[in-house]
Amino acid sequence: MKNILATLLMAVACASLWSATALAKPDKVDGVNVPSGRVPQKIKDNKYPRTYFPGTERVGKNEMRITAVGTGMPNQSPSNVAASFLVELGNGESFLFDVGTGATDRLAGLEVDYAKLDKVFASHLHTDHVGDVAALWVAGWLNGRYTPLHVYGPSGSSPELGTKVHIDHIRAAWAWDVTSRAGTLPNAGGEIVAHEFDFSKTAVIYDKNGVKVTTFPAIHIRDGSVSFRLDWNGLSFVFGGDSVPNKWFQKEAKGADVVVHECFFTPEQWMSIAGFPYKQAYWVTSQIHTPPEGFGKLMSMVKPRMAVAYHYWNHRDIELEIFEKVRKTYDGPLTMADDLTVLNVTKDHIEVREVSFNHEAWPMGTSKEWDTAPRGEPATGLSSDWLIKGKLKGLNPPPTQPID
């Protein structure tokens, strides 16, 4: 009996050792890393599987895949983390619009190629839009990003309220973390770079490889909120950061392919959910945000190929009422986005589905480029001598391969 048990344990140990080796490096398909052994299929004649399983489909050469990574609130619920939309293009590039609190959990489930997640476009500096920047910075570095994380974000009414100072403070706040990892990981991946732009101007802030990202002002409590428009290959994606309906959005979103805009709770819902008095509930839902009927009216003006509503909880007792109110003022194509709603967009077709992911998903492993990227030496010398002397000798096995 003992022998059988020992053999079984051995078999389990060997199997896990073997699989760790086998799954450690991704495969490369069309320039994008996918989990080893996964074979993404080409989609033909717009015949998409009913459910999107991460890593199983190639983004077509002329296709844009948009994933609602997070669609909820700063006080997130497990089913709705905070705002984040991922745009993957047929040219192999990825763009993140906002990375609110909790979004990195979803990105892990999506088994993304972190080497591609090196750009975040931040609509404003509320936690539900940028709360996971530091988490992405470090997790992405560990999971395959060997270049800096670039954060494009707005100025504020004074320098200390702008994106540059925000990122400088993130860098300072996480000094203990990042300097302790230095040397173990590629040097450049440990950098985070702020690209601050004037929030008050409509301007192109990114223009590379045929991808153009335009910023324009949004109206949300204080100076320093914006929305974005991405143009590529004749397709357009508009991402509304928090705002009341405004003239810049109307102009930039007009006739775009996919237009995402916040669609907040009604004042009455916010009173019952959050316990706010009416005056404060109206302020939050209708003077700094856009409630469902306002969202509908705006979409009736811009007439997108697909309107996408987010920034509410998709709980059954809330969502239906929000949907009904939108439908009072807008009867065009509409997606009530939930976390992990995915839209595949081409010139002639828009497919809207849900993602199903593995809650035990592993990172896909690091690439050859990550392995060979320049790095320094592991961060020795950061612990005091008296602390090192407390080490129990002989417990951790010595190296079995040369390390000097």
Instruction: Name every residue whose Cβ is closer than 8 Å to that of residue 199 and which is 6 or more positions away in sequence.
Output: 154, 155, 156, 215, 217, 223, 224, 225, 226
Strands (E), 71-187: 84-89, 94-97, 119-121, 149-154
Encoded one letter per residue, x for contact with Zn ion by CB under 5 A and - for no contact, window 225-244 reads -----------------x--
Instruction: Decide the pairing of beta strands 203-208 and 192-197.
Output: unpaired
Residues 242-281 that bind Zn ion (CB under 5 A): 242
For helices 163-173 and 133-142, the axis angle rounded to 10 degrees is: 60
Is residue 132 close enough to count as binding Zn ion by CB under 5 A?
no
In this chain, which stretch among 4-12, 118-126, 192-200, 275-283 interacts with Zn ion, using CB under 5 A? 118-126
The smaller minimum CB distance to Zn ion, of residues 242 and 293, is found at: 242
Complex with Zn ion: residue 242 or 339, whichever CB lies closer: 242
Q: Give the residue with the Cβ less far from Zn ion, 34 or 322.
A: 322
Quick one: which of 88, 113, 128, 196 contacts Zn ion (CB under 5 A)? 128
Q: Which residues lie across from 197 on neighbouring strands? A: 154
- How far apart are CB 260 and Zn ion at their closest, in Å? 12
**Within a 10 A sphere around the Cβ of 69, how many other Cβ atoms?**
31
When the beta carbons of 25 and 126 are compared against Zn ion, the nearer one is: 126
Neighbours of 217 (CB within 10 A): 21
Nearer residue to Zn ion within complex by CB, 76 or 94: 76
Q: Cβ 226 to Zn ion, closest distance in Å?
A: 11
- CA 153 to each of CA 122, 125, 197, 317: distance values in angstroms, whole numbers, following the listed order: 5, 8, 6, 35
Q: Which of residues 328-367 bind Zn ion (CB under 5 A)?
A: none
Q: Which of 276, 258, 321, 208 is nearest to 86 (CA)?
A: 258
Could you say whether residue 126 binds Zn ion (CB under 5 A)? Answer: yes
Q: Output the smallest distance, CB 94 to Zn ion, in A.
A: 22
CB of 248 to Zn ion, least distance (A): 17
Residue span binding Zn ion (CB under 5 A) among the ranges 10-18, 127-135, 193-201, 332-340? 127-135
Q: How far apart are the first and last CA of the chain?
A: 45
Dihedral angle, C-alpha 233, 254, 124, 336, nearest 10 °: -90
Q: Say if residues 236 and 229 touch (Cβ distance below 8 Å).
A: yes
In terms of CB distance, is 81 or 364 closer to Zn ion? 81
Which of these ranges, 120-128, 143-151, 211-219, 321-329, lies near Zn ion under the rule CB under 5 A?
A: 120-128
Rounded-to-integer distance, Cα 253 and Cα 206, Å: 18
Question: Cβ of residue 288: shortest distance to Zn ion, in angstroms?
Answer: 8
111 binds Zn ion (CB under 5 A): no
Choose between 40 and 70: whose C-beta lies nearer to Zn ion.
70
Of 232 and 270, nearer to Zn ion (C-beta) is: 270
Residues of this chain that interact with Zn ion (CB under 5 A) are: 126, 128, 242
